[in-house]
Structure 1
Amino acid sequence: VKIDSTITDASGKYLFDSLVAGTYSVQFVKPVGVDFVNQNVGVESTDSDVNPTTGKSDPVVIDTTKPIGDPARNNRDVDAGIKPAYGSIGDFVWTDVNNDGIQVPSELPIPGVKVYLYNGAGTVKLDSAITDANGKYLFDSLLTGTYKVKFVAPTGTIPAKQNVGNDLMDSDANKLGWSQVVTINTALLPSDTLRNNPNVDAGFVPVGSLGDYVWFDTNKDGLQTSGEPAVKGVKVYLINGTTGAKLDSTVTDTNGKYLFDSLLSGSYKVQFVAPKDTNFTTKGTTPTSGLDSNPNATTGLTDAVTIDTSFPLGNAARDNRSVDAGLTVNLGSIAGKTFDDNDKSGTQNAGDTDRSGVKVYLYKETTPGVFVKVDEVVTDSQGNYKFNNLTSANYQVQFNKPTGSTYTTPNVGDDTKDSDANPADGRTGIININTNLPETDLGRNSKYNDAGFTPIPDNCKDEICVPFEIKKVKK
């Protein structure tokens, strides 16, 4: 039965006097936002006497037969301690082996995971913790407010699917490790999950990886050899090994390296895109070495590679760093011959002679219709010349006619024997070099770009001829 009530004064004091002998209990009403501290933890004169849940003290006996001032008659030790009301957020991090986003008994906890507490906006870091041996973490002493939890994915894992089932058993971390906003209300009972939330969990899925290297196979032996350079900027695709669907893509870095990480257990293929003027080297010359080339020379596609995340981190079955591609450079050439067209037929015949020492210029189309000189050579003793190491492009060859000669008539017949130099400027027509063609194809290695020369007649100067003067001779 409630007998009386009062309010504590500015000094926190209260008093019920004029009590007759009997048994009493004092009940305190806690202010909003506070809790009672633990009961009877020390000496009677200084500890708290109220039950933290009910706010009631134990029964107190008042005996008026005792002298005034005796604690049994005038008890001044029925006190109540209060503390700010706090909430908490926890609780569990586990390995989601089957990638379903739900905790099952066979899936193990993950100790040592870093967990951060942020404000509800995710802009201010408030606290941090590390999961214990049982995968547990706890942020306590939280005031009323909104919070977010951020989990740092352990090496070799990615966050599981978020919020796919019962909040007691599912994962609350998104792909970046963030939980949803969690509201804590300390005015509620300690047993209320809106005050003490033990259901902010995170599952992490084991993953593997695929890499690793693209290089120029300069000696064309199909193996990585010291001194052979890495190739930057090669496009690489990750392919589903079963369906053939493209899953991801990347580009090799300055060291020729690429990496597809965060891979679930499964079958994969890698497809490399050969840069312009290159081909893939011979596949699998020494398959067990880890130094050979893996893509098909035609398609750029490797065989299927199985990733098994049940193996330890760094194991080749989980993290495969041996899917490489060697490239060979496709280059073309332009060659031909200069000759003295003695019979002025415009074609090379038995009576014609080789013309050595002729300067020959190579022009390359750098922008549409614009040709820039890129090289020059001089014909050898047999009148031959050759420009090597050409990439795919349009070219022209220009011949510098020897002193006392002019160009013969061009393009009169068999291209392997006639002259190709335009008499107006000494240039050939456009020669297209396509290094993706076989080496034996004239579209890659163009051979018959020739120039024939005829002598300038005595009555001509700078190719301008005048009639001979005809004189009448007396007999």
Structure 2
Amino acid sequence: MIGLAAAAIIVATVHPAGLTGASTVHQSTPVPAPGTGDGTLTIRTVSDVDGDGSYDAALDTGIPGARAVVTDAAGHTATATTGPDGTVTPDLTGLSGGKYRVQLSPPPGGALLPAPAGGKPPALSAPTSFVDVSGGKAAQVTTGLWDPSQYCQANAKLLTCGLARGNATGQKGLVTFDGSFGPAHPGGTAATTATLTHNEEQQAVFGIGTDRTGNAYLGTYVKRHTEYGPAGAVNAIYRYNRTSDKVTTFTTLPGTLTAHTKGTAPFYLADDAVYGKVGREGIGDVDVSGDGTLLYAVNLNDNKLYAVPINGTGDAVTAGTAGSYRIPKPATGCAGEWHPFGLGVRGSRVLVGGVCGAENTVSKAEPWGDPSRMRGFVYTFTGSGFTPLFDFGLDYPRGCAYRFTGAPATAYRCDDTTTAGQRMSADWEAWNERVPRTESHLFVSAPQPMLSDIEIADNGDLILGLRDRFADMQGNMTQAYHSTELVSAVAAGDVLRACSPGSPRSPGSPRSPGSSGSADSFRSSRRSFSLEKNDSCGALKGALPDNEQGPGGGEFHNDRTTHEDAVHDQITEGGLALQPGRNRLWSTAYDPFDDSPFEQGVRLWNPDNGSITGNRALQSTHDSGSVLFGKGNGLADLELVCDQAPVQIGNRVWYDTDRDGIQDPGEPPVPGVKVTATPRGGGTAIAVTTDANGEYYIGTKNGLKPGTSYDLAFDHTAATTAGLPGSPTATGLRWTLRSAGSDRRVDSDADSAGKATVTVGKAGTVDHTIGAGLITPLNTLGDRLWYDTNGNGVQDDGEFGAAGADVGLFDPATGKELGKTTTGADGKYLFTDLSDGSYKLCFLPPNGYSFAGRDTGRSGDGSTAAFPNGCTEPVTLGPDHRTDLTLDAGLVKAASRLTLVHKDAKKSTLLPGAVFQLWQDTNGTPGLQTSGDHPDTRRASACATDQLGRCSFHDLPKGTYYLKQMAVPEGYAKPKNPVTGPYRLTDGKELLVALASKRDR
């Protein structure tokens, strides 16, 4: 639990005579006897996908490998580990009493942490909970775990960016829209699509990364016919912030980009200079780390991964100094050039993917090269380097980019006999710069793969997004390379699934052991993965078996579209988004709806079977003369816009029967306790009340903020106490020991005033360890240690308390130390919850002080500590004397003092009104010198004798002193020599000097 100061009964000091060790004063409670027979306890751990603190059986799947410890009141334990379905029924044979404490720990080695609890029924329990299975009763505990870096709210929106030709203005740039699509065109209402920017604000981009504080990061991209953004021909990463509603340059990575050729109006029809630069210059994919602190970007100019620190949040973020890591060319199986591009980030995992383009197989006879030599590769980024994870071939049948089925029958028709290089074939080609032949509608295709995006599925499989490079080399009704012919590219991207035997589950089945319910914890060797085969991936079955397309002759994802007179077998554009735990996978695509040609949009699949569950049309591109990209790559990357993961604090208020400050099994909860959290820096306080289980939870839904410190106040005055032992009054309760024991999960955090302080961590932090125990008070001793300035033994006005002094509690009969504490800022101290009996207190004075005389003042405000040992007389507490707050001790300086007594020389009458100066011999010359080069030193102010003829000089260092009489009482003669001495003082001693004056005759 949170670290707080010492409790009321645990004291820390040293007695003048040798106080030793700390002790606790409390009463004990007998261990319950075994019940007549325990019922069944079932423990379940689940993945709380939406972080709402409630158990949704359809959404929150079981987590294996979590460890449960069940403890009885005697301290005996039983341990158990959750099985493949996330449940376990522990053997309680060795426990007794029937009332137990259950403590759950996440599976080792993963990223899972406690999730929010206490939501709507059926509510999830905190990692520490209490059950009663006595008398055959059954109990069930369901606890949520999560990786907050993978949280995304149920109604998350999607974000992509539209692309437009040349330097056109006013076209859609960044757009955001609901991720839930309907079956009917356009898949949602226009009101759910918001245009955030226009194309001229960022121009050509592909990679998009989003953080959880309102920022989208956009990587500059090289696309023929499309100009660079405001920063120019450099590898700029732009940032859009939803609060400022502006696009700014976040950072610029190394590399200069080839300038576009604007030409003459209509502009950018040719733009041949960048034809071969697509995929070789600019920035590939962009992603934000799971914790939101790093921006990852693949630089296509130098084949390096850049990790740019994101400092701050919201519109105040700035870019730190980037680290760069060369992405190695695969050692084997890599023909031609190495083209890293795509990223996959889930939790702490970071994957980087690319293709080897087999350019060295391109020839004049076969300008499309040898696709069998191309391979895709995926690496794991370790934080400092890369390890191979998976590689796969790209020579598999993919059907046609465009199958014309209308009239005239003599028009060119692509069919399943097509091969790479044939007109409108969707089969991958080696990277090349050829100019493909058109069909009758002036469509062209020459698909070349770029591994542009990676998603990690819930079961650890990889989902690979491939973008068609050629559809960024050729526009819509723009000039072919080195030609004036106007042609239109038809894109033919792809979405593949790579399956791992580490998590082969079918829909609805529990996650396998080792996955810990989180794809982030999944690790695999390079050869663990295999590419989907004829629509199958492990135990999963896809959407298009035996369609003579895809690896093995079938496709897992349904990525085709059918129109009245045409079919597109591959419509995706390489941007992916997957929402963990919710069976939703999206991809950018053109013509997502059947019979609605020339549209740019998004397709939604069930990732467990590749079936279409929705489509979304974002923009029509039907006008062939427009500045949009028709059936080509008209959209950039695709990202989810996720909120910050919720935060929560909480635990339990209970009645501490044995007064030991620890939440023991069988100790009852206390409902009705008000808990108020007030931000330390100012702000609105949040108040909740403990429920029937004594539990309280304060979270994001209540207004709790991450990264904020709160003062907690527990108020028991309206608590329900009928179920507590002895039915004490609510107002008569007191708080138990704070921070007792070694387990912070089951201690009490409230101080004696019911106060605690907690700092909420970053987004996603859940702290269920802030508990508070209540007790019925017993006896109390205490009062005050003060500085007795005038040494009269009375607490006079203006005399301050002595803070931080040690006070010990002893048994006067045996001398045994029972406890110890220190005085507060006001000098007060208190021993509470004392059993009936006799006690003695002993005080340890600060260095340089001793005690004033005992019992010299009035009752309750005088010193009761004996000089010099600083101990009180025994005090007896019991039914007739529960509280004694009269045990004070006055402190006086343990320094030298000189006191003179002035009398009449003849009658010895005490004389007031005589004035004296005190001088210390500091020049080493005998006698008093008050002037000259080296005079002695005057100490303190002049002192006049009082009615008792006394005058004192206090706090004097040891040394030799002289008194000089400056005035005599009226009627008395001045002495011929007003100087007397020398007087020698030693440390801590008082010197009494008697002087006399004669009457003036």
Quickly name the TM-score band, shorter chain normalised. Answer: 0.3 to 0.5
Q: Which one scores higher on RCO, CA 8 angstroms, separation ≥ 6? A: 2
TM-score normalised to the size of structure 2? 0.24
TM-score normalised to the size of structure 1? 0.43
Bigger radius of gyration among the two: 1
Relative to total residues, which structure has the larger strand share, 1 or 2? 2
